[in-house]
């Protein structure tokens, strides 16, 4: 009896491809886009080379190019003209995301468009909801505003809403409001386990949503904890989430795998953050690693259990797939 030699399954490229356990596809990816109120805006985002804040009047060609490349799913973030303590622009009929949704659906009706539901970029203090008299985030006071924002997006044409503040009860408040107003079909992608991470810096530049004081540790997960993720996921499922999410992604592969194993019936998304993107881009730019490292990292995220990957590398995937030897 001959000894088992795994290398026999790797010696030929066609056989390697057939035997590969994990395959990335363009259908796995959502493209994050930052839409800024105003005209003729294409602002480069520091820390995120190749990405921009876009005004609507410059966005049409971008959307059509994404669709032509085979990318069919977007996650929109809005940056408004006006900010105040209650984020009043977040659920305005003519708010930046409401107008963006209507425009994108007119240009590319088949594009799947999800929206970020949060208040950090709409408030003058940069926190994810309403503050109390002690200038602390008031979870209960914030839920009504969060649900109102989600409803506004639904009415403007969103295909899915994604509450990103990780406030307790947000998924349930949104589900009840959507159901009550005839949007029971609309899915919710909860930011189920969003860690209070140091890897969001370029994103906060992009959304102009950094907190003016304090931090978000009171309502986002402690990066030292793992079992906490199980409790958060169970709560989101109970409240009506259709898709769970882990953020950051490649720094938290163990959490992705743990949630997939514990809740195999639930689809899982992973957000490959701006900081994770920036680190890879910096190393590639210096020639320290090859661009194919992008595929390696993103494949690891899918191998860990994510079915949806939100990544700033999504736009590069069509070309990476073409030239990759994997």
Active site (catalytic) residues: 194, 247
Task: Give CA separation, 54 vs 28, 41, 177, in Å.
Answer: 24, 5, 30
Assess contact for 176 and 146: CB atoms under 8 A: no
d(C-alpha 132, C-alpha 135), whole Å: 5
Q: How many helical (H) and strand (E) elements, i.e. helices and strands, does the chain have?
A: 11, 10
SS3 31: strand
Assess contact for 276 and 249: CB atoms under 8 A: yes
Rounded to whole angstroms, the maximal C-alpha distance in the chain is: 77
- Write out the two tokens for 13: 């490229």
Report which DSSP code applies to 182: T
Q: Is the CA virtual torsion 316, 319, 324, 326 positive or negative?
A: positive
- Write out the two tokens for 162: 């994604």
d(C-alpha 239, C-alpha 34), whole Å: 28
Q: For 81-87, which contacts have Cβ atoms below 8 Å and span 24 or more sequence positions?
A: 81/37, 81/38, 83/121, 83/122, 83/123, 83/124, 84/123, 84/124, 85/123, 85/124, 85/125, 85/130, 85/131, 86/123, 86/130, 86/145, 87/119, 87/122, 87/123, 87/145, 87/149
Give the helix/strand (H/E) hosting 285: helix 274-285
From first CA to last CA, the distance across the chain in angstroms is: 32
Residue 300's CB is within 10 A of a number of other CB atoms, namely 15
């Amino acid at each position: 009896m001959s000894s088992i030699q795994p290398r026999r399954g790797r010696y030929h490229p066609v056989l390697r491809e057939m035997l590969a356990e994990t395959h990335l596809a363009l259908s796995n990816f959502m493209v994050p886009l930052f839409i800024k109120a105003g005209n003729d805006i294409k602002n480069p985002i520091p820390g995120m080379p190749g990405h921009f804040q876009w005004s609507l009047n410059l966005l049409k060609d971008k959307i059509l190019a994404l669709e032509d490349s085979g990318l069919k799913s977007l996650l929109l973030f809005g940056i408004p003209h006006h900010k105040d303590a209650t984020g009043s622009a977040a659920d305005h009929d003519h708010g930046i995301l409401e107008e963006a949704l209507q425009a994108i659906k007119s240009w590319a009706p088949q594009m799947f468009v999800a929206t970020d539901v949060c208040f950090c970029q709409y408030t003058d203090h940069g926190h994810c909801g309403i503050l109390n008299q002690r200038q602390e985030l008031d979870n209960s006071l914030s839920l009504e505003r969060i649900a109102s924002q989600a409803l506004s997006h639904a009415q403007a044409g969103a295909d899915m809403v994604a509450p990103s503040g990780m406030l307790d009860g947000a998924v349930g408040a949104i589900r009840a409001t959507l159901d009550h107003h005839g949007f029971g079909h609309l899915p919710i992608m909860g930011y189920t386990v969003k860690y209070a991470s140091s890897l969001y810096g370029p994103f906060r530049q992009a959304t102009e949503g950094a907190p003016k004081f304090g931090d978000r540790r009171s309502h986002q997960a402690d990066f030292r904890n793992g079992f906490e993720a199980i409790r958060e996921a169970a709560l989101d499922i109970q409240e009506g989430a259709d898709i769970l999410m882990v953020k950051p992604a490649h720094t938290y592969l163990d959490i992705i795998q743990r949630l997939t194993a514990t809740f195999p019936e639930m689809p899982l998304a992973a957000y490959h953050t701006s900081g994770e993107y920036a680190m890879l881009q910096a190393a590639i730019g210096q020639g320290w690693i090859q661009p194919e490292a992008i595929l390696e990292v993103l494949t690891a995220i899918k191998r860990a259990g994510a079915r949806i990957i939100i990544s700033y590398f999504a736009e590069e995937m069509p070309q990476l797939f073409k030239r990759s030897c994997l």
